[in-house]
Amino acid sequence: MGNGENITGQELHEKVVESVTAIKNGPKVLNLYMDVCARCGTCAEVCPVYQGEPTELRNPVVRSDFIRGIYKKYTTTSGKLLGSMVGASDFDGDMKKWVDSFYECTGCRRCATYCPFGIDNSVITRKGRAIADATGYTPDTMKKVVQTSLDTCNTDGASPEAFKASIDFLEEEMKDEHGVDIKIPVDVVGAEYFYVPPSGDVLVNPEATTGIAKVFYVLGMQDKWTMSSKCFDGANYGLFTGNDGHMKADNKPYVEEAKRFGAKYMFMGECGHAYRIMKMMMEKGKWWGDLPFKVINCMEWTADRIKEGKLEFDKSKNPMPVTYHDPCNFGRSCGIVEDPRVILEAACEDFRDMTPNRGENWCCGGGGGLSAMDDIRDFRMKVSSVKKMEQVKATGAKYVATACSNCKRQFMQLIESHNADFAVGGVHDMLSRSILINGKAAERVDWEG
């Protein structure tokens, strides 16, 4: 855990108060959240963490009150005059408590869906984490991922050579599966689609990437897309540490790369927060002005091609019951909910939905970057994921498809620690296994039984 060793108690207090009072100057959303909450407790009722194991510090309002209390004390007349009578409180100097608490919120935004005012506690969580970051208290894991990503443009720290070797390997894989040359173009200037996956989808669980390569192949668009040997990881942990500077610095090379390629589409892979940053924040917020390209998502694109009837599948390759876990960043935050279902229903024999689903889905328990933190593994296994596991078990699914690397890591650890009887993987993984190329699905050794 980052311990902010370079800061004295008094400096810490000043910094905290300063950055909380700065809320007065915006953004509007935080201003409102400081004032409007009616403290009805509905957020706790729908919070995956509080419902996993209710303790006072896990109550979303209690967590948000760390900041709200200071805001009231220093910026409102009533807070100055009446103090704790109106819920104002001072910073107690315990930044460790802040970090523990703000890194127990998965930022899933489920509270906002049910709050009568639409108050999104994840915004306050992010503010809390930003304050922790500014005072050097960000957990070490997070710091390291951010640093690696800033240094190498990917969270794996993989070199362009390693990336190219992996791509060669994946092309050979597909040649073995289908007997034809299916290309994954790299660094092609002039390509229309610039594919940006999470690096894990190339280096660790590459089936999603092969699935996309196959779709391009079937459509005869092999020369229309490209990957970048430098920018192949959309993951951006600046979102999770609350550091806007890091988030933008991490984002910039991708936009430049897309411009260099002259791409028409920034084609985002199966990574929820990467798509959210590109689509909802970077593109909508015009971080880099007007863009010569459009941000789209691979799932909506593939689903559209399926609806047009351009892709064919052998569903019998995926006979097991499959369910889809809506990653919070894709579902609630970006509205990509129907497309993955279109793909899975086309590619699998037995697709089942969990309840609730789509915008009301329970978080996997590893959102907000928590999935990468093994120091809170116990919390993730036993608290934040309780609701999710109940849901998955109720479907009887043997395969949980999800379009988010963090969700996948969380699920994999859940399977291990609960000795659960299902597998986890991506959406395009299912497509990759059953899509017909020249009338034939992939030949693969069926190690899944």
Partner 1 sequence: MNDYIFMFFPYITLLVFVLGVVIRIRAWAKSPQPGKMTLFPATQGTEVPGVIKEALFFPSLFKGDKTLWSFSWIFHATLALIFIGHIRVFTDFPALWAALNINADNMSATSGGIAGILVMATLILLLFRRFFVGRVREISNLADYFALVLVLAVIITGNMMRFSGHHFDLELTRAYFSSMLTFSFSAMVVPADTIFRAHFLLVQLLFVYIPFSKILHFGGIFFTQTLVKQS
Partner 2 sequence: MTKKEPNSITFKCGKTYLLDDQGFLNPPDQWDEKFAKCMAREQGIWEELTDQHWQIINYLRKKFTKEHVVPVVVLACADNKLRLSDLRFLFPTGYHRGACRIAGINYDFMYESNYWLTYETSTMPRVDHSVTPRGYLSDFDTWNERFAELIIREWKLPQGLTDRHREIITFMREFYTKNKSIPNVFEACKSTNLDIKELIELFPDGYHRGVCRISGLPFF
- Point out which residues bind partner 2 (CB under 8 A): 141, 145, 155-158, 162, 165-166, 168-170, 172-173, 176, 199-200, 202-206, 372, 374-375, 378, 405, 408-409, 411-412, 415-416, 419, 421, 423-425, 444-445, 447-449
Cβ closest to partner 2, residue 87 vs residue 272 = 272
What does DSSP assign to residue 187? S
3-state SS class at 311: coil
Torsions phi, psi for 259 (to 5 deg) = -65, -40
Smallest gap from Cβ 94 to partner 2, in A, equals 19
Cβ closest to partner 1, residue 119 vs residue 348 = 119
CA-angle at 444, arms to 441 and 449, nearest 5°:
110
In sign, the C-alpha dihedral spanning 188, 193, 199, 202 is negative
Residue 281, contacted partner among partner 1, partner 2, none, CB below 5-8 A by kind: partner 1
Smallest gap from Cβ 230 to partner 2, in A, equals 17
From 195, 130, 139, select the one nearest 167 (Cα to Cα). 195
Cβ closest to partner 2, residue 60 vs residue 206 = 206
Cβ closest to partner 1, residue 115 vs residue 268 = 115
Residue 168, contacted partner among partner 2, partner 1, none, CB below 5-8 A by kind: partner 2
Residue 185, contacted partner among partner 2, partner 1, none, CB below 5-8 A by kind: none
Q: How large is the angle between the packed helices 140-152 and 244-261, nearest 10 degrees?
A: 30
Beta-bridged to residue 194, according to DSSP, are 226, 266
From 355, 212, 218, select the one nearest 297 (Cα to Cα). 212
Cβ closest to partner 1, residue 206 vs residue 331 = 331
Smallest gap from Cβ 378 to partner 2, in A, equals 8
* Distance from C-alpha of 205 to C-alpha of 234, rounded to nearest angstrom: 15
Residues 6+ apart with CB under 8 A from 444: 177, 433
Kindly list the residues in this chain that would bind partner 1 in the complex (CB under 8 A). 25-29, 31-33, 35-42, 44-46, 50, 54, 56, 59, 61-62, 65, 76-78, 82, 84-87, 109, 112-120, 123, 280-281, 284-285, 331-335, 337, 358-360
Smallest gap from Cβ 264 to partner 1, in A, equals 23
Supply 36's token pair: 């409007």
Residue 292, contacted partner among partner 1, partner 2, none, CB below 5-8 A by kind: none
Smallest gap from Cβ 114 to partner 2, in A, equals 31
Q: Are 329 and 273 in contact (CB under 8 A)?
A: yes
Torsions phi, psi for 267 (to 5 deg) = -100, 95
From 409, 404, 218, select the one nearest 311 (Cα to Cα). 218
Smallest gap from Cβ 343 to partner 2, in A, equals 18
Cβ closest to partner 2, residue 338 vs residue 421 = 421
Cβ closest to partner 2, residue 290 vs residue 447 = 447
Residue 419, contacted partner among partner 1, partner 2, none, CB below 5-8 A by kind: partner 2
Would you tell me how many other CB atoms lie within 10 Å of the CB of residue 84? 12
Smallest gap from Cβ 405 to partner 2, in A, equals 6
Would you tell me how many other CB atoms lie within 10 Å of the CB of residue 225? 23
* Distance from C-alpha of 213 to C-alpha of 171, rounded to nearest angstrom: 9
Cβ closest to partner 1, residue 56 vs residue 161 = 56
